Chain A
Amino acid sequence: MTAYLIAMAIVALIYMLLTIGLNLQYGYTGLANFGHVGSFAIGAYITALITTNGGFAYVSLPASVLGAALVAWPVALLSKRLRTDYFAIATLAASETLRLAIIEEDWITNGVHGITSIPNMSVALGLDVDPNILILTLLIAANLLAVALITRMVKSPFGRTIEAIRDDEDAVRALGKEPATFKVKVFVIGAGLAGLAGAFYAHYFSYISPEQFLPLITFYVWMAMILGGTGSILGAVAGSLVLVLFLEGSRFVRDILPGVTEVEMASVRLFVVGMALVLLTLLRPQGLMGDFRKR
């Protein structure tokens, strides 16, 4: 039972990093990122490639963050030219292109077969402790740090300006501020957080393959953000916990629905989470932790 709770907590904390990043991008800045899973994948693959080739996590963790941020940078530049809806499509396309590239470039990524035997956190750090407890501790620390840093950012003049950009970009321009400068920074930081989440993911599951990085993951993160409340950092924390509860809880739907195949189960879970989202939007439109004055 404890092991099960730890496993759930680890998954929830990985989603939390992703959701905090997306909330900074969309909730605060209005950047509709539908390709978040792409940054997650980059983090996971960088960690997998470095640590399966003898590298330590002291190198691979920062490399995953920087790699995801670096790849996000040209995508962020698109936000200069594209309206919200087109930017959403462009980011979705970017993450799918990346996934196809991972499949195609099998000389480095091992294609559809994925990368196996990624060392766990203890091995990767060269520490003689329980790997699950270690990764749980590091994830808690990483999330606390992310919450502290992002809260400092959004409750500052920087945060005020990105919220102004979300509300009306042209009005920001008329005040002599270039929205693109802010959007690029925000997008890159959100991607870095997703890259970190990917690194933890790779260590925890020890096996990664392209099919784990489908757009479905992006949509789960959106759900967590909306459940918790867009434009609220604590909402991102609450939303990812609730999301994982729903995803796990929907496993038990299987007992009520005998004869449902594993493939169909994925749709059932999506349906359950979707229904929860619809109910919540009806009952509490601002999200669990959302502030009523914001949307």
Chain B
Amino acid sequence: MILSLSHVAFAFGDFRVLDDVSLDVPPKEIVGLIGPNGAGKSTLFAVTSGFEKPLAGTIMLDGRDITHDGPVARARAGLGRTFQVPREFRHLTVRENLLAAAPNQTGENLLPLFLSPRRVREEERALREKVADLIAFLNLTAVKDTPSGSLSGGQKKLLELGRVLMGDPKVILLDEPFAGVNPVLIDSLVDRIRELNAQGYSFLVIEHNLRALSDLCSTMHVMDRGAMIASGAPSAVLDDPKVQEAYMGGVL
């Protein structure tokens, strides 16, 4: 398994948000995670990426126990994530956001910045080429020099995906990547995720757009009130009466 959560529990104070949650992301697969609002999906991402500490359970990334690592160490170990509410660097342009996301830049250290300016310059040139390709891949060319704070919601989602890709992670967690994205853009985003998956990236995707998600993923998990209530192939999961009940017959 590229990512494996076992028996994870978490609470905000006395308020139990995650209860014995287990979930696996096999290599090169796209796994879906759905559930009504407040089910604890985003909290599960926070615990998985190290922003919150679990009360119990273990988290393994590519065979390594990362349960006790902080968010920085987990990201360095190859765990990439986006946020439900986009967290773009709003004063930086799209291009600068992506450049800033590149790991281990020589020019981020002050001594080499002043002592080996040539090396910094060359690295920066290579990085700019990589970023230009990524901007084209994400269809953000028209806004590449726009401060990211003034992008549309959908463009911010694309930008966050781009930032994660700069780190070349082993697994990517996407929190509602299609929320607020216009339908045309959703199709292109779905294509992009498929392409990346074909290149070998694994994904865990939270999404309310069940049509787009069931198209994408091979396995789907359903959470309700902090617990996993169903797992399996998307069609089977969506037909499950427990799942229908959790959504109270509404969305499905």
Contacts and interface: CB of A to CB of B under 8 A. Distances in A.
Interface residues of B, number: 37
A183 B124 CA distance: 22
A170 B120 CA distance: 26
A185 B108 contact: no
Interface string B97-109: 1011101011111
A175 B105 contact: no
B101 to A, nearest CB: 5
A171 B99 contact: no
Interface in B156-203: 163-164, 166-167
B137 interface: no
A170 B72 contact: no
5 contacts: A153-B113, A158-B113, A164-B97, A170-B71, A174-B87
A293 B167 CA distance: 27
Contacts, number: 93
A177 interface: yes
A168 to B, nearest CB: 5
Contacts of B120: 156-157
A80 to B, nearest CB: 12
Contacts of A172: 100
Nearest to B86: A171
Interface string A271-295: 0000000000000000000000111
Interface residues of A, number: 27
Interface stretch (B29-37, B75-83, B238-246): B75-83
A162 B176 CA distance: 28
A15 to B, nearest CB: 25
A161 B107 CA distance: 10
Interface in A120-165: 152-153, 156-158, 160-161, 163-164
Given A173-B75, A174-B81, A176-B103, A168 B108 contact: no
B92 interface: yes
Contacts of A104: none
Which 3 A-B pairs rank lowest in CB-CB distance, beginning with the nearest?
A176-B75, A157-B107, A171-B87
A76 B75 CA distance: 24
A248 interface: no
A19 to B, nearest CB: 20
Contact of B99 (A153, A157, A176, A182): A157
Report whether over half of chain A's contact residues are helix, strand or loop; otherwise say mixed: helix
Contacts of A106: none
Report whether over half of chain B's contact residues are helix, strand or loop; otherwise say mixed: helix
B113 A173 contact: no
Interface string A219-241: 00000000000010000000000
A87 to B, nearest CB: 19
Interface of A: 152-153, 156-158, 160-161, 163-164, 166-168, 170-178, 182, 185, 231, 293-295
Contacts of A170: 51, 71, 87
Contact of B110 (A167, A176, A185): A185
Contacts of B71: 170, 173-174
Interface string B118-160: 0010001000000000000000000000010000000000000
Nearest to B124: A157
Contacts of B88: 167-168, 171
Interface string B33-51: 0000000000000000101
B96 interface: yes
Nearest to A157: B107
Contacts of A166: 91
Nearest to A177: B72
Contacts of B109: 158
B247 to A, nearest CB: 30
Given A164-B100, A176-B167, A171 B83 contact: yes
B114 interface: yes
B68 interface: no
A293 B147 contact: yes
Contacts of A185: 110
